[in-house]
Amino acid sequence: MSRAGTVRWAAGAGVVALALAVPQARADVGLHSDQEVAGFFANVCGWCHEQGGRQAGKGPQLMGTDKSDDYIMNRIATGKPGKMPAFGSMLGADDLQAIIHYIRNLKPEGASG
């Protein structure tokens, strides 16, 4: 390996080691309104949970789920290897509760109430 290649490799390894050594702070997204939660869900979760969670896509349909709140919170926070990324480092407890509230209140598209 050339000297330049060695320096690039060492610098890259140092960045990775630093990233692994520094504790990751939980940054609450700040989902305070139903509109913010719906927007977050559409932009982040909607890639796999289609129609705002009303229909299965790459991920399962969430509307009408029989999973417990604890199960949903844990799945969002820790993910599922090879299936769903973990969002625990970016979402605080209030954000997770807001998403669970959103899921629990999903209705078919166009339904009232």
Strand partners, 55: 50
Say if CB 66 and CB 60 are below 8 A apart. no
* Predicted TM-score of the model (pTM): 0.72
Please determine, for residue 25, whether its predicted confidence score (pLDDT) is greater than 90.
no
Please determine, for residue 9, whether its predicted confidence score (pLDDT) is greater than 50.
no
Q: Give the model's pLDDT for residue 66.
A: 97
- Given CA atoms 38, 41, 46, 51 in this order, what sign does their dihedral have? negative
- Average pLDDT for residues 5-33, to the nearest whole number? 52
Q: Give the model's pLDDT for residue 110.
A: 74
Of residues 55, 39, 48, 57, the one with CA closest to residue 85: 48
Ranking 10-14, 27-31, 42-46, 80-84 by mean pLDDT, the lowest is: 10-14
Instruction: List the Cα angle 40/81/27 in 5-degree steps.
Output: 40
Mean pLDDT value across the chain? 82
Domain boundaries, the chain: 25-104
- Average pLDDT for residues 90-103, to the nearest whole number? 95
- Average pLDDT for residues 87-91, to the nearest whole number? 93
CATH pick for 25-104 out of 3.20.20.70, 1.10.760.10, 1.20.1090.10, 3.40.190.10: 1.10.760.10
Please determine, for residue 85, whether its predicted confidence score (pLDDT) is greater than 60.
yes
User: What stretches of the chain show up as alpha helix (H) in DSSP?
Assistant: 3-21, 34-40, 50-53, 69-78, 93-104
